[in-house]
Structure 1
C-alpha cells in the first residue's frame, strides 16, 4: 500500500484561479503555450517544496484586480498495491499524518492540506501558512476556497518534492555538488566496505606509481618537485604525484561519463544537448531510485513527488518515446508537462490532462477512457498511434467515415487556406465507419477541442452518426440539423456521388490524362490512351472505379478538385468557413 496526491486546487497563482485538476500515478499535462502547464508544476512546488521563486508578479490578475493571496490545496489519499484508491492509510503513513489530520468523506480517508501565501509588504516577502481542511468537497453554493480549516502541520519529509527544469545538462551536473548527480556521487565512498576501500586504494596507489614511472613528463615533474622537500622541516616528508584520485572519498571529483562505440567513446562535452539533457534526467532517476532503495532497506516510508518540465527537449522522436517509459518507472508520483505528441501518445488516456483557456480562465480537460467499450478504446488508441499523438494538440478535429474523405479533405483544406491544414492545427480523422464516432467526439469534448463531422447523406450513416451525437449531448440534443459543427451531404448521397453531381467529371478526366498520358511511349500510344479515357470515363464508370479502388481514386478525386477552376464543393466550403470563424483565422 502507499499514497497518492489525487487532487490539486489552485487559486490566485499566475493564470490559475479557481483551478482544479485530478492527478494520477503519472500525469501528463498537454496544451498550447501559456495555458498554465508550468504553473501547475510550480503550484505543487509551492505546496511541497520551496517558495523562493515567488514574487508579486505571480499573483493572479483578473479584470484589473490583483489577488491578495495564493491558495494551493492538495488531497492525499491511500492507495493499494494495485495503485487504486484504498479506504484507509497503512500504519506508517497514518503515524506520519496523525489521526487528527486524517479526514473521512464517505468511506475514503484523506488528508486535505491547504497552503496559503500572503504577501507582507513590510518585509517584501511572502508568508506561508499551512492548515488542514476539515472537508474537501464544498456544499451546494459554497466555494472550495471558503471551506473550514484547522491549524496543524504535517511532516512532509517522507514526500520530498523534486523539480526537474526544462534546461538540463549532465555536464553541469558533474561540476555542481548540489546537483542530484553531485549529491549521489558525494556518497560513492560510503557504498564500499572498509575492506573494499583499503583494497581499492592500494590498487589506485599502484596505478598512480606505474602511471608516473612510465611517463617521462610525470617523472620529471615529480623529480623537480622534490626540491620543495628540502625546505620542509620534517623527516618523513615526501612528494607524491597522483594522476588518479588517491582516496575513494575524492572519487566523485574525477568521474566522467563517456558515450559512443566501445572502441571509440567520447566524454559528454563532445555530445549534443539531446544526449546531455537525457543523461541528466536519467542520473536523477538513479538518485531517486537510490533513495527509494535506502528507505526500503530501513523500512522508512518514501514517496517522492516529481515535477518534470518538457523532458523532450532536444530529443529525437524515438528517444522521446523511450524516455516516457523511463520516467514512468521512476519511484513516486510524476507530473510531466510536455509539448511532445510522442510522449503524449505513449501515456495512457487516463494519464492525460489537457489544459485550455475558456472565457479567460484556465481549465483542465480529462478523458474517461474506461467508459468506452474495448472496441472503442482500440479504435481511439490506434488513431493516436497513427497521428503520432498529434491529436492531443489539435486546435480542431474534422471527423468522417470514408476513405475518400480521409485523402481528399486535407488536400481541399490546403487549397482553401492556402497552406497545409496541419500548420493551422487542424487534424482530419477517419473514424472507420459511421457507427464509430462516439469515442472521438467524447475525446474532443473532454479536451475542449472543437470538432466537426463531415458525413455521407445516406440514411444509415446519418442515423448512426446522429445516435453518437445524441449519446454525447444527452438532453441538450434536439435535431442533428441544428448542430453548426455537423455537415451532412444532401440527396442521400455519399461523397463520391456528391462530387460527380457537382460536375467535376471533366476535371477528373483532365487530371487522369495529366497523369496517364506522359507515361505513353509514343504519339500513337498517347492518342489511343486519350481516346480510351474519353470513351470510358462517364459518371457511372468513375463511381464504379471509386468504389472498387478507393485508395487510388480518393487521391484522383482530391487532386482533380484541387486543380479545378471551379470553386470547392459548397458543403466543404461551408465547413471550412465554420472552422475559420470558430478558430478566428483571418
Structure 2
C-alpha cells in the first residue's frame, strides 16, 4: 500500500511502562494469558481512531503507586515508505509532516493522553513530531509540528479491530459493525428502487389476502383507531419489508452442504460464526479499498486481529491464517495457537511476557544464523513443539524415558502438574538437538533447564552449544541450568545404579509376565555383536568420533545390569511411566531420585516466575529438607 507502520512506542499505557515495538507488514503477538497482547492492540487502535474515550484507568501505575495527575500516556508511531521515499500520492497527502531522514523519509505521529484539570478528566491529543527521538528521549521530547493532525490522516490509516468475542449473529444486529456498515446502503438506482418496492408491496398484499389468519389479525388491530379516537389511523401487517432501506434488519445468512437442507447461521456453531465475522471484515476492507481508489485517496488499512483461532479446529486454524495473510493492509495478530505460530516467518514473531511490574517484549535473534539453523528452529521446534512459546520454564531432556518420568516426579516433588506452573517438559530426541530449543528460550527470555546424559562427548558438546547461545559460562554457572547424569550413564542406568533395581525388575516381570525373562535374554544375546558406539577418539581428517563394534558380555553383576538396561531400553514406551509409578510407592525421601531433586530445587530457587508465592510457601518445607 506504499507505507508501513515500522515502529510503535508505548509509554505508561495500561500494563506497559516503556516498550518499543518493531512491526513488519505482518506481525504475530504470542504469549500467555494476561501478559498484554490485547493491551498492545488497544494502544495501536487508540492512535488511529478518530473518537475514543479515555480515562485514568489507561495510565500505567506500579504496585502501591499513587497516580500522579501529571503522568501522561505517550504513543508514538513511525510511518515509513515501503521504499526510501514516499510515492507521490502519500508524499502530497502527508505534506509538511514528512521528515527527511538519514536513510529514508518518514512521518512521526504522537498520541497523548493527559489530565485536564479544568475539565476534571483525561483528554486525547494528536500531534506530529519534527524528528524521531531516541528511545530514552520519548518522555521529554516536545519538538512538535505546528500543523494539526487532521481527521483525513486517520481515515487513510484506518484501524480494523476484530476481538476474540466476535460473532456474526451479534454483528448482524449492530449497525456500527462491519456487517452493518456494508449493508446499510446497498446502492440501488432510484428506478430500480421504485420497481422493487412496488413488487414488495404486491407480495405483502398477496400474502395477507391469501391468509385468513393475517386478515383476521389485521382487522382486529385496526380497532386501535377507536381507542385512539382518530379516524385517520390505519394498522398494516408487513410479512415482508415494504422498504428496501429496511431490508438489512431482516437479512439472514443460511448455510447448507450438498446433502442437507440449509440452516440459519444462528444455528451454526461458534467456529462457523466466528469465521463468518472474519470474512465479513475481509469483504468490508476490499469494499473500502475500491471506494478509496475511486476517490484517488491513499489508503493503508491497519488490521488488529485478536485470537483468530478462537473456536476453530486445527485444520481450520491453518486455513484462516492463510486467508489472513492474503488480506490487504498491515496485520498485527495476537494468538495462543502454536499452529498459527508455526506458519509465520520467524522475524514476524513478537513475544510478550510479564515479569515484575510491567509487560515487556522480545524477538527471535536471527542475526548470523545459517539457513539450516533457521530451518531447524522452524521445523524441529515451532512445528512440533510450538507450545513452548507460551511457557515460563522449559525442561529439556534427551530421551523417551525422561520425557515420560519427569512429569510424574515433578508432580510428586512440587505437588502440581508441570503445566499448572507454566513448565513444559520436552524431549529433544537426541543429544545433538538441544541448540534450536536453547535459541528460542534465550531469545524469548524463557527459563531453561536441561537433564542430560553423562557421556563425556555429550557433556562437552552440550556445554559448547550452551555457551554459544548464552555466552561464555563457567562450569559452576552451567550446572545451575544443566544437570548431567553421573558416570557417563543414561537415565535407565542411573535409576539402576541409584537403588531402584527392585522397581525396574518388577515392571519387567509385570510387562513380560514371567520371572525368567532376564535370564532368557542373557542366554540368547550373550556374546553377540552389539551396536556401534562412539569412542573418545576422533578421525584426524574429518574430526568425527570413531565408532567401534562391541561384543556383548553379560557375565557377573555388571553383565546382569547391562542386560536389564538393554531390556528396558528396547521398549522404553512400555516401561518408562510404569517404573516411575512403582518408585512412587516407596516411603521416604527417595521417592524422587536425588538427581531430579537437585534439578527441581534449582528450578524452584532460580529466577523462575512460574513458581508463585503461594507455591513457594507450600513447598518451603520440601526445599529446606532437601538432602545434602
TM-score under structure 1 length normalisation: 0.84
Look up the SS of the partner of 2:139 in the other structure.
Answer: helix
> Which of 377, 380, 395 is equivalent to 2:377?
380
1:209 to 1:357, Cα distance in 2 relative to 1, 3 A? same
Separation (CA, whole Å) in 2 of partners of 1:329 and 1:196 = 35
Separation (CA, whole Å) in 2 of partners of 1:336 and 1:207 = 47
Match of 2:561 in 1: 539
Match of 2:596 in 1: 572
Separation (CA, whole Å) in 2 of partners of 1:356 and 1:224 = 66
Offset of residue 184 of structure 1: 0.8
1:224 to 1:109, Cα distance in 2 relative to 1, 3 A? same
Q: Which moved more, 1:442-451 or 1:193-202?
A: 193-202
TM alignment of 1:1-150, pairs within 5 A: 1-50=1-50, 52-62=52-62, 64-66=65-67, 68-79=71-82, 86-98=83-95, 100-138=96-134, 142-147=136-141, 149-150=143-144
Look up the SS of the partner of 2:35 in the other structure.
Answer: coil
Look up the SS of the partner of 2:395 in the other structure.
Answer: strand
Runs of 5+ in structure 2 lacking a partner?
A: 523-559, 617-628
Alpha carbons 2:32, 2:391 under 8 Å: kept: no
Separation (CA, whole Å) in 2 of partners of 1:349 and 1:202 = 59
1:34 to 1:221, Cα distance in 2 relative to 1, 3 A? closer
Match of 1:453 in 2: 450
Equivalent residue pairs, number:
560
**Is 1:167 aligned with 2:170?**
no
Alpha carbons 1:134, 1:148 under 8 Å: kept: no
1:348 to 1:203, Cα distance in 2 relative to 1, 3 A? farther
1:314 to 1:548, Cα distance in 2 relative to 1, 3 A? closer
Look up the SS of the partner of 1:145 in the other structure.
Answer: coil
In the TM superposition, what whole-angstrom CA distance separates every residue of 1:335-356 from its partner, at most 9, and x where no partner exists? 2334444444444433322222
Look up the SS of the partner of 1:354 in the other structure.
Answer: strand
TM-score under structure 2 length normalisation: 0.79
1:509 to 1:371, Cα distance in 2 relative to 1, 3 A? same
TM alignment of 1:181-580, pairs within 5 A: 181-188=179-186, 190=187, 192-193=188-189, 197=193, 200-201=196-197, 204=200, 207-208=203-204, 210-218=206-214, 242-261=238-257, 263-316=260-313, 318-369=315-366, 372-382=369-379, 383-387=381-385, 389-474=386-471, 476-479=472-475, 482-517=478-513, 529-533=514-518, 536=521, 538-555=560-577, 557-563=579-585, 566-580=590-604
Alpha carbons 2:29, 2:349 under 8 Å: kept: yes
Alpha carbons 2:204, 2:239 under 8 Å: kept: yes
Look up the SS of the partner of 1:149 in the other structure.
Answer: coil
Offset of residue 505 of structure 1: 2.4
Q: How big is the alpha-carbon RMSD for the aligned residues of Structure 1 and Structure 2?
A: 3.4
Runs of 5+ in structure 1 lacking a partner?
A: 80-85, 518-528
Look up the SS of the partner of 2:122 in the other structure.
Answer: strand
Look up the SS of the partner of 1:27 in the other structure.
Answer: strand
Q: Which moved more, 1:310-319 or 1:36-45?
A: 310-319
Offset of residue 223 of structure 1: 7.5
Alpha carbons 1:434, 1:462 under 8 Å: kept: no
Separation (CA, whole Å) in 2 of partners of 1:239 and 1:420 = 67
In the TM superposition, what whole-angstrom CA distance separates every residue of 1:241-261 from its partner, at most 9, and x where no partner exists? 643233433321220123455
In the TM superposition, what whole-angstrom CA distance separates every residue of 1:510-564 from its partner, at most 9, and x where no partner exists? 11222333xxxxxxxxxxx223346647311122234544544545554554555
Separation (CA, whole Å) in 1 of partners of 2:305 and 2:487 = 54
